[in-house]
Structure 1
């Protein structure tokens, strides 16, 4: 098949310059699908990209004005990207299927599907209806409208990354057109030595719903029992200065290190691999792919108890705490940091759980679904 993938952001090399879970999902699935199909990716004109390039057999076409990564705002540039991506997509030759990967790209993919009379698939990570404004601010009005409008269209298939997301879609979309397919986890092969001091790793965008402040407050409590505790936070975002100020206010400058944006995914995973425990304090996730990556590296986790992460982990390899309860978060982290027997148990069971997300299994499943969709469309 000839498949067009529309994703707002995409790496510019196999080093997988990481930005977010959606981008990792789009990249991994593009790589696996390219084993069976011809893949064309329409994405933003990243400042590091040329306008048109290849990653192995994947043809990447950059659309819109050159711009950096952003998760909120930048409305005019995002609209320009959408317009340009549609204009490019509608002129692609012999495309059999188009897939959108986030709220910005769903409308683009849908219009391309209408123009070329081909099936459209939406890879769905989370349902934000009713949460847009609280999570994203005033710009969330645009997202709320777009998501509600899109789910009213004649979409051939929605593929949520979890049953949790599927259940949240049911009030807005027919169940017979929804199939859960978990994310591919392209397990990193990294070599790194353990840190010489007890260390917590966190990989998260520095935005409100990731609740990184809860981790900082938990470290403040942990420090009383483990004075040399270290916490390495990877990620950037609008709350960066606020979180750094909180760190200074609590006098944790020697304990908490902000690593910012780490370009290579391998380097991100080295930090996770070298740490004693991984923490995901987020209260909003579509799947929690970084949890599975941590399990594959035999790094136990502590996470806020939200359905997508519970589903992804199968409650194996880590401990859960009540969302936003930083005192309980500190207790869970201390358990893993101070109990060697528990740590070893979580290492083993977590690693076994991670095997459920191999790229070969998920890639073959996606390819079968897409081929069947193409056949069904022709019959109709």
Structure 2
């Protein structure tokens, strides 16, 4: 008999936590586990088809905001009873709050994955998180930084362990042909140096700093191009700044993309400007694709990238140093190539998606058996 695991998540759009769901599903032992997925924002469904393709059962219980999401308790309970769910796995705070209410009502074991440090949440989110945190079976941090933040700020009575995010290194490999084809389609000269990022366009990512750094680089190296893949609430503001700086011919906005491999394949440097992170999936994907990394020291980034080995790091908010670090890699291509090779090697050795999946399965077995 297979163990039935229900993932609860606010949306199935293209975010870091969301992208991991189909990636891990493809590697799980589905002779031992059956996976279900409930999400709430029907317009954020980019991951739905690929989850179904890999054998997952997906249901949308429509909620237009966080308050409505919490009010879907009875519908989620009915789903759990109907499908005879054995374990619930929640992702991100509001789904976590709902999962804990389900736990209180049904006693179905609940695992919660925390993708961010507590210090970065709104005070109300932190308060509810702290008050409800023990109404679940286990919490997982995606990095040691996240796990320590939980222990420090919440002081939970339940087990809190780290399961590092991983990347499918077999899938995320640089494809020169796809990269060349994409450059032609986007009108980027074949021999151009390309900076990129793949992100949700929200405040956390500090993409205005990304634009400022790009502008400083472009003034010295006018043949450099940029690619920002994604969408989000800051999109208009970001595009307005690009227009004001006369960079519309130099920075490409392809929008949301399900297949990101061609985009990583054209990037010489993956530039991350975030103010804070848990352990960003796009960073791991970029490193697996042999992109050199230039990043801020945002949260779990420093657990992956060692300065002057797999990338070049600076303090959050220091966009001038971001720009200077990219310039170093333009000026010294041999250093850039070495960093690209070391980046791939780093994820192969330490951030395997298969290792992440096996670790999750061990947690599921442990909880299912009441240990």
Alpha carbons 1:277, 1:337 under 8 Å: kept? no
1:193 aligns to 2:179 (yes or no): yes
Residue from 19, 42, 52 that aligns with 1:24: 19
Residue from 172, 178, 185 that aligns with 2:160: 178
Instruction: Tell me, in whole angstroms, the C-alpha distance in 2 between the residues paired with 1:204 and 1:311.
Output: 20
- Segment of structure 1 superposing worse, 183-192 or 37-46: 183-192
**Over aligned residues, Cα RMSD in angstroms?**
2.6
- Segment of structure 1 superposing worse, 346-355 or 194-203: 194-203
**Structure-2 change in CA distance of 1:32 and 1:116 (3 Å):** farther
Secondary structure of 1:301's partner?
A: strand
Instruction: Tell me, in whole angstroms, the C-alpha distance in 2 between the residues paired with 1:48 and 1:232.
Output: 22
**Structure-2 change in CA distance of 1:314 and 1:331 (3 Å):** closer
Residue from 302, 305, 308 that aligns with 1:313: 305
Alpha carbons 1:119, 1:156 under 8 Å: kept? yes
Corresponding position of 1:327: 320
Query: CA offset at residue 271 of structure 1?
Result: 1.1
Corresponding position of 1:146: 128
Corresponding position of 1:43: 39
Secondary structure of 1:104's partner?
A: helix
Q: Could you list the per-position Cα deviations for residues 125-147 of structure 1 after superposition, in whole angstroms to 9, with x for gaps in the alignment?
A: 11335x434xxxxxx74x34432
Residue from 74, 84, 93 that aligns with 1:94: 84
1:107 aligns to 2:97 (yes or no): yes
Instruction: Tell me, in whole angstroms, the C-alpha distance in 1 between the residues paired with 2:322 and 2:135.
Output: 43
Corresponding position of 2:53: 55
Corresponding position of 1:2: 4
Corresponding position of 1:361: 355
Instruction: Tell me, in whole angstroms, the C-alpha distance in 2 between the residues paired with 1:24 and 1:150.
Output: 27
Per the normalisation by structure 2, the TM-score is: 0.86
- Segment of structure 1 superposing worse, 162-171 or 107-116: 107-116
Query: CA offset at residue 114 of structure 1?
Result: 3.2
Secondary structure of 2:82's partner?
A: coil
Instruction: Tell me, in whole angstroms, the C-alpha distance in 2 between the residues paired with 1:230 and 1:84.
Output: 50
Q: Could you list the per-position Cα deviations for residues 161-188 of structure 1 after superposition, in whole angstroms to 9, with x for gaps in the alignment?
A: 0000011011213377111001131232
Residue from 109, 123, 131 that aligns with 1:119: 109
Query: CA offset at residue 77 of structure 1?
Result: 4.5
Alpha carbons 1:7, 1:26 under 8 Å: kept? no
Q: Which runs of 4+ in 1 moved over 6 A?
A: none
**Structure-2 change in CA distance of 1:88 and 1:34 (3 Å):** farther
Corresponding position of 1:288: 280
Instruction: Tell me, in whole angstroms, the C-alpha distance in 2 between the residues paired with 1:40 and 1:93.
Output: 9
**Structure-2 change in CA distance of 1:332 and 1:177 (3 Å):** same
Q: Could you list the per-position Cα deviations for residues 338-374 of structure 1 after superposition, in whole angstroms to 9, with x for gaps in the alignment?
A: 2111011101111110112222222112111221222
Query: CA offset at residue 19 of structure 1?
Result: 1.5
Corresponding position of 2:142: 161
Query: CA offset at residue 45 of structure 1?
Result: 5.3
Instruction: Tell me, in whole angstroms, the C-alpha distance in 1 between the residues paired with 2:17 and 2:265.
Output: 22
Per the normalisation by structure 1, the TM-score is: 0.84
Secondary structure of 2:60's partner?
A: strand
Instruction: Tell me, in whole angstroms, the C-alpha distance in 1 between the residues paired with 2:334 and 2:306.
Output: 20
Gaps of 5+ in 2: 181-189
Instruction: Tell me, in whole angstroms, the C-alpha distance in 2 between the residues paired with 1:293 and 1:77.
Output: 34
